[in-house]
Amino acid sequence: MKTTALLLLCFIFIFPSCKKVEGTNKKLPVTITNTEHLKDTAQFINEELLKNTSKDTKAFYKAHNFKTVWTNKFNRLSFHDAIQEASSDGLLPSDYNLSILQKYESNKTITKEECAAYDILLTQSFTKLARHLFKGKLNPGSVYYDWALPSKKLNTSMLLSKALTKNSITETLNSCRPRHKVYYSLKKSLQFLNSLPNDNSYKPLDKTTVLKLKDSGDVVIAVKSRLVYWKDLDSADASGNMYDHKTMKAVKKFQKRHGIYPDGAVSGRTVAALNIGLKKRKQQIIANLERWRWFAYDFGTKAILINIPDYKLAVIENGKDTIETYKVVVGKPARRTPVLQAELNNLVINPTWTVPPTILKEDLTPSASKDRNYFAEHNMKIYKYSDTIETMPEEWDPEKADHYRYVQGPGENNALGVVKFNFNNRFSVYLHDTNHRNLFKRSQRALSSGCVRVEDPLKLAGYVLDKEDAGWTKEKLDEMIALGETKNVGLKKGTHVYQLYWTAWMDKDGIQFRNDIYNLDKILYSKLRN
């Protein structure tokens, strides 16, 4: 009996334990709750999440009662697409947290706190992209020392609020881009360059290469191959190793696109341009896109635009219509012409010229020290300090050359010629005529000490004065010049002056490239990618 009871007791305890052991081998079903709908409803944002954000971001969410605002999936996905599109502007999608935003969007089990964090990151990324499209990724003052363009203002909080209300993220960001056709042509240029195959297989041409019509050899094959790559020569016309008429025509097209005199001969500058590869050209386009975002949003009803690397001045009306163009001479690399925006305030007819410090040190003092006749030959008077009493050349002390003022009298041999265009700027530069008019025959004209010399300044003066007062005529201007007296003519109607730096753009002849005479492209691109 005892034995039976003991067996029964063992059975009672052992049987449940066997069930328990068996049950431990089975996985219990896990229920996953989809919470992605939380992104589409307003969630509370704890102020702790805003602790490390900017004042603007804090103010933005305070104005929206500390609630999430990106509750429309269409707006979120539109912004993702807009970030990807920013690569067409030469910007990096990674700068705007694209991969992190996409992870948040694909998360189907998101918490309310994660929704808030996603919303804040969307707002911060939108603000950053809008500002970069509107006024550039970099502050030009941190890149170049001789850059003086006014900073553009953008209220991103107001912009974002409107965009979210109207579900117009794409359109709003498009409106931040520069409206100039040159900017869009640069985007088109970048798209074209991105479509080209890698050009690493092209070997550089020898710098001493010289080719002309009827020449032949392997180097001609190499030149034709490069011309076909850049679409200046049709591949059907590229057979053979003869430098024929079709190849010469293609070379002329290539030369025009690069600001080289189109003589059809391959040498010097043409060889150097042919040796520049795809990678560098892309970098050049990207640098120019950034500069355009720094430039004025609107050039106004009438403006004088100087493109420094192209050695050209254009008179623009209504922000887009080119009325006249002029050749110009700009500053040499050691004495750069600054980039700036200003307004003409007066013209000086028959100007005098006061020698600036750089020219005094590097030119006048060495020359006059050797021969005091330098002053008479250059129609120049010497004054001590602020005195009005002239110092005679024989009394001049070259050891104290910077203690004097040097003023060249008016006349055709004056360094400023017969007319000078003044506008206020911190660099003390201006536009002017010149007594070295032969320089305009050169294709490379980075030759001045910083100011811009204009090939036909009287024509430009006539345009400016005609806009000022209907009483001005060319005859009246000629009369004033003939008198030989210095006269200031005040200007009341604003004509803006823009000294800008473009080394790439696209027109009817294709992508245009110019030499980066001040090495500004390289500096800018490296900072854009750091």
Residue numbers annotated as active site = 432, 451
Could you tell me the mean pLDDT of each successive run of 10 residues in the chain, 530 residues long?
A: 39 41 55 88 94 95 97 98 98 97 96 97 98 96 89 94 97 95 95 95 94 95 97 96 97 97 95 97 98 87 94 90 94 95 94 89 93 93 86 93 93 90 94 94 93 95 82 83 90 89 94 96 94
How far CA 455 is from CA of 359, 402, 418, 459, in Å, comes to 22, 32, 12, 9
Task: Summarize pLDDT for 312-360 with one digit per residue, the tens.
Answer: 999 999 877 889 999 999 999 999 999 999 999 999 999 999 998 888 9
How far CA 115 is from CA of 39, 103, 156, 218, 406, in Å, comes to 6, 12, 22, 64, 70
Task: Summarize pLDDT for 466-498 with one digit per residue, the tens.
Answer: 877 667 777 888 888 999 899 999 888 878 999
Both tokens of 77, joined, read 């996905």
Say how far apart CA 178 and CA 355 lie, in whole Å. Answer: 40
Given the DSSP bridges, would you call strands 510-513 and 504-507 parallel, antiparallel or unpaired?
antiparallel
Q: What spatial distance separates the first Cα and last Cα of the chain, rounded to whole Å?
A: 91
